[in-house]
Amino acid sequence: MEQGELLILGANMKEGYSSHTSILLPEATVALFCNDDQTNNVFGSVAQDWRFARVKFDLHDGDVETATEYYSEYESPDLIIVQTDKIEDDFSSRLEALSSQCDERTAAVVIGPVNDVDLYRELIGMGVSDYLVRPLDAETFANNIAATLIGRMGESDSRLIAVIGAKGGIGATCIAEALAWGVSDQLDQKTFLMDAASGWSTLSVGMNFEPTTTLSEAVRAATQGNEDSLTRMVHKASDNLSILSSGGDVMLDDEVDPHSYEQLIDHFLITHPILIADLSGAGSAVKRTVLSRAHKVIVLTSPVLSSVRATRTLLQEIKGLHGGTLDHVNLVVNMQGLASKQEVPKDQIEEGVGHDVSLCLSYEPAVFVGSESEGKKLAEYKGGGIIIEKILPLVRELVSVKAKAIDGNKGDEGIGALLRKLRGRA
């Protein structure tokens, strides 16, 4: 794509759409050009959505011509939304004029006046992959902007799954490893596994590889856009499963910067549909950043009082990060049976933490310790395959939605079609 091209994007409502967009969005700028009070008010309400805490919203009175004139003097944003009262024969040339003033990666959404199938098809043919009709619904508008920004920032239909323990020593890393093997092998999805434990990482033991880099070096390569270095930092566990081969850091070094770690995540989300982040050993700031971005959070606890109390606090904080909801959080009780006489029953755990328990796993030291110490797949141990089968339903729907999104995008030649047609007329 050449300088000055305007990428026309939209976001059709699909199954799993709201799940995909229910994350803290990256830093971006969104501009709206319109003269309609209702649209302006809805735009203002979107800015209050928790997902857009890092997004700057600019509101302008005007239309396509106003935007064209404005961006002849100022830098274009990540997303331009233009509302038009009518779409005439010269509308494509008006968009062409706007595109000539915009950065090559600027995305755009068009809001029009009527719900007309022929008009919709005409716009699709021009390269607009979605057409919004006023009056706008706030939730639909928010999801549309979120999906467009996610596509613009390069994450596409990838899914981020975070695994975190309410306290140390309750098997979060083992569960993350088992989940990675299950998603990559049994659900046949290209998967990336990484942690943020720096020198405290144990992934190399459980996944049977020698660390070839440090987490600090990995985040530095990501921030510098050093593709060759990042490629050398990846351990290929199987055709479908790759792992960041970090862990060589000094154990008492300072933790990595959360913004830089987020850039590392963004890099691998571009090339891997499923990314699993083990947050065991991560610093508080990194945990907060990843939990805010995650499409799915799996919280590990154990049925003892100290774990239950920590779980209650952690869930409340995650709820705050996700706009007051725990819809994307699964609570897993691990090590059930470790100390049966002192354990808190499942119903009391649910009452105490205010959230349903999705899964209870028995205490299986021979399976988990044996798998980790020998660097073998959990499924290779007797009873290990059953554990994976119990874990996979927690993410099966998420992975299924991702797969459908990819299938739905196959052959999607509409994006940028407008520009190709316009160049053909030149």
Q: Which of the 8 DSSP states describes residue 378?
A: G
Amino acid, res. 330 = N
Mean pLDDT for 216-225 is 93
For residues 119 and 149, state if they share a domain: yes
More confident residue, 153 or 58: 58
For residues 130 and 166, state if they share a domain: no
Task: Read off the pLDDT of residues 373-406 as tens digits, 9 standing for 90 and up.
Answer: 777 787 787 778 889 999 999 999 888 765 555 5
What the block records as the tokens of 205 is 């033991």
Distance CA 179, CA 296 (A): 13
For residues 179 and 297, state if they share a domain: yes
* Domain CATH for 334: 3.40.50.300
For residues 98 and 174, state if they share a domain: no
Which residue range is the domain that position 215 belongs to? 159-391
Q: Is residue 138 a contact partner of residue 49, using CB atoms and an 8 Å limit? A: no
End-to-end CA distance of the chain: 16
Strands (E), 72-186: 79-83, 107-112, 131-133, 159-165
Task: Read off the pLDDT of residues 114-155 as tens digits, 9 standing for 90 and up.
Answer: 777 776 676 666 556 567 888 898 988 998 888 888 776 655
> What pLDDT score does 415 carry?
33
φ/ψ of residue 371, rounded to 5: -65, -45
User: Taking the model in full, what pTM does it have?
Assistant: 0.75
For residues 249 and 136, state if they share a domain: no
* Domain CATH for 138: 3.40.50.2300
Mean pLDDT for 223-239 is 93
Task: Read off the pLDDT of residues 62-78 as tens digits, 9 standing for 90 and up.
Answer: 999 999 999 999 999 99
CA diameter of the chain: 80
Beta bridge partners of 360: 333
For residues 141 and 277, state if they share a domain: no
Q: What number of CA atoms fall less than 13 Å from residue 61's CA on the CB side?
A: 2
Mean pLDDT for 267-275 is 89
Between the alpha carbon of residue 108 and those of residues 80, 229, 293, the distances in Å are 5, 34, 24
Taking 70 as the threshold, does the pLDDT of residue 345 lie above it?
Answer: yes
Domain count, the chain: 2
Order of strands, sheet of 274-278, starting from the edge strand that comes earlier in the sequence: 234-236, 241-244, 191-195, 274-278, 159-165, 296-301, 329-336, 357-362
For residues 27 and 76, state if they share a domain: yes
Mean pLDDT for 18-28 is 74
Q: Is residue 21 a contact partner of residue 147, using CB atoms and an 8 Å limit? A: yes
For residues 236 and 372, state if they share a domain: yes
